[in-house]
Structure 1
């Protein structure tokens, strides 16, 4: 049995990218090496980080043995009930960056707030309280994939949100991940 030394924040990013790919019904190359290379390029990570991440997620039973399919119910439960305790976030100083949590789609259409949360980024279009992303390349990856951006913003709402924001984020994540 493989030893599991715990999940890392970027494991969540990799899992959400797999959900995004499935949500968009893109066809993945069946070769695991080519899939990992494509994931690495799209997420701004190394191929070895992707491989180790998928291995940890498999041991945690968040992905199937072939490392290509996410176990939707397990991922949903982990995100909704464990993420904010394992990878908490605290709003920091005001920076220019890319909106996240309730300040980004899809929650920004449902919640009006005077506070803005951003991932610090030189290419950002908004100013707000900074939220440290789960991985430094998150703004890059989110700019490449609108579905991934929505998923990452919803996850940040779980990490920093108040009760109303968390409930709305959980409902939307359920639609993305469980397709229901």
Structure 2
């Protein structure tokens, strides 16, 4: 067995792609094609996530609570990001759905992408092919944009992003539903 050398940024992309599929069956070759990541990298990513406890030992499902815990408490420290130069790209963080429906800002954040339709401050994606992959998968796009809000957002943006991620990651295929998430958030803020 290979020595575990720690999680890599694209491991989060792979996990979020699996989460975006919900209860649909998935195969590593499909993840490879849809994310534009080599099959060997997908396999190694799944193994790292298994070792980290983010994928079940049978490698068939993500550990939703563990993933949400990591995103809420660790992503901003492990994969921090600072907005960069103004470039053309695909909107992310508060500039993308679903946050752009709630948060109005003069600052726009984008993943650099030559075929993008917006200009804004560059946010380095968790993997180079993210901008291309999200244009074909709306659910993945929302998840990755919400994660970027955790990486670069202000307190209000992060709070809303956490709530939206919990709904999307824990709400589907889990005993946790939106009402219980809302009540937990309300009780936590009191």
Asked if the contact 1:36–1:50 (Cα under 8 Å) also holds between the matched residues in 2, the reply is: yes
Q: Classify the secondary structure of the residue corresponding to 1:144.
A: coil
**1:65 to partner: Cα distance:** 1.3
Equivalent pairs counted in the alignment come to: 172
Q: Does 1:58 align with 2:50?
A: yes
> Residue by residue, what CA displacement relative to the aligned partner does 1:130-163 show, whole Å, maximum 9, x if unpaired?
0000000000110110000000000000000000
Unaligned segments of structure 2, at least 5 residues: 172-176, 178-190
Partner residue in 2 for 1:80: 72
Partner of 1:26: 24
Pair 1:37 & 2:35 matched: no
Match of 1:95, SS? strand
Query: Equivalents in 1 of 2:38, 2:25: separation in Å?
Result: 22
Residues 1:123 and 2:115 are matched in the alignment: yes
Supply the distance in 2 between the matched residues of 1:117 and 1:165 (Cα, whole angstroms).
Answer: 13
Distance in 1 (CA, whole Å) between partners of 2:98 and 2:77 is 23
What TM-score comes out, normalization by structure 1 length?
Answer: 0.93
- Match of residue 16 from structure 2: 16
Q: Aligned partners of 2:160, 2:4: CA distance in 1, in Å?
A: 32
Please report how far the alpha carbon of residue 4 of structure 1 lies from its aligned counterpart in structure 2 after TM superposition. 2.2
| RMSD of Structure 2 on Structure 1 (CA) | 1.1
Task: Report how far residue 26 of structure 1 moved.
Answer: 2.8
